[in-house]
Amino acid sequence: MKSLIAFFTLICSCFVTADEYHYKNLLIGTKAIGLGGAFNAVSDDLSAVFYNPAGLSFAKDSSSASISTFAYEKTEFDNVFSTGKGLERSSFSVVPSFLGIGGNYDGLHWSLAFAVPDISAERTFTTASYQLTEQQITSDIIEYAKIDFDNTSYAIGFGASIQQTDALSLGISFIAKYNQIVTSQGSGINSVNSMVSSGFEATRRIVDTNILLTPTIGILYNNDLVNVGVKLSQQVSLSREFSASHTIVVNSPVALPPGVKTSSVGTIDGSEIQQYPTQISFGFAKQIGNYTVSFDIDNHLAVDVDEFSISSDHPPITRDYKATQNYALGVSYTNQEKSTFRLGVFTDKANIEIDTNQPFQRAEAINLIGISMSIDSKFWGYPVSFGGYIKYGKGNVRVADIRVVEQIVGIPLYPNNNNFDISTGHKQSIVTYVSASF
């Protein structure tokens, strides 16, 4: 009667993580947001410290700028439960995504900025119910999944630039980032009939804390013909603390084979740092009358690592990154009242690919495309901006790390979908913001 204790797949308990599979989780800066991130060659505000620090030489604002961001994200996974029902996760956050100050000291243009690249909190509980008849006994089956997820990411950056000529500027920046992911997740099945109650539950709590540093060098060349921007950056991990604990309980109405663990509790800790891709970005911009057209190409190089596992009872805590190339195209228009309208289109491709040779891989290979817009105007004499963007994509997800639970227990617990635990996923984000410079 294995179906009475193991009909439900733990597919959902492995999805919860910061969106480590994409690079454009939350665009930063009013102009950059409106242009879809096509900001490398037109960096001229305090957020240039995150895009191209050479642009600080052309920044017009030496005071501070504040951005409040409203972010909604929804991810859907098809056929999660055995009834065919899917799982929907969503989160809504209000964050002060950017705050910066800057100035000019004896020809050295500088900016000190604080940003929130990614933040979200999620509470999800989903069930699917049906009846199952075996050996003339009808049982009421309840499959369930629960997710508590808290992700915080804070960044502080300092950048400086020197204008070599009227057209050429060189810049450098250092961005320190604190990332913490805390997830408490679980799923299971409850089977009740007139004779017995049975089922199982598997839960896992993960705390992953990283301190990162990203040095960046940038070049920006502006002339009447075309603007060209180049950026080179490398994120490195300075410190990592990883902890994962699990609890598994199996209540079977029949005797299980010798050696099967009907209960298991364990905790593992690790500090193995993750290697990250090198980013090389190119930007081009052209002003035509009141219009400015900008185009960016962001290249993230591939990273191949020897996956590191703390123990056989947990998936690896390091992974490969595939090479990705994202594009952004932005157009801005300034009218006679000096109000500026911006429109952008951009891609946000997944930085992971599904590899069925890895037995415990978890991956979301969903490529996204986004549309953005913004408006700059004045309110009571102060510059104010409004805008936002939406992203959507569909792709494949793989959650083979559920097989670790079977390895701990010692018996098959989850159905085999005959496709290496690969299913379809949909992802969308809606972000709006309001900004003021003063």
Comparing 259 with 328, the larger pLDDT belongs to 328
How confident is residue 147, by pLDDT bands cut at 50, 70 and 90?
confident
Mean pLDDT over the full length of the chain: 86
Separation CA 339–CA 290 (nearest Å): 11
Three-state SS string over 258-299 comes to CCCCCEEEEEEEECCCCCCCEEEEEEEEEEECCEEEEEEEEE
CATH class of 2-437: mainly beta
Over residues 12-25, the pLDDT tens digits come to: 333 333 468 888 87
Spatial separation of the C-alpha atoms in residues 169 and 225, rounded to whole Å: 16
Query: So where are the chain's domains?
Result: 2-437
Run of H or E including 130: strand 108-134
Contact 115, 155 (CB under 8 A): yes
End-to-end CA distance of the chain: 69
Per-residue pLDDT tens for 88-121?
Answer: 888 887 776 778 888 888 889 999 988 887 777 8
404 φ/ψ angles, rounded to the nearest 5 degrees: -65, -35
- 62 pLDDT band (50/70/90 cuts)? low
336 has pLDDT over 60: yes
Distance CA 26, CA 91 (A): 14
In angstroms, the CA 126 to CA 86 distance is 9
> Is residue 284 within 8 Å of residue 41, measured between CB atoms?
yes
Is the pLDDT score of 314 beyond 90? no
How far apart are the C-alpha atoms of 108 and 373, rounded to whole Å? 32
Q: What count of other Cβ atoms lies within 10 Å of the Cβ of residue 318? A: 17
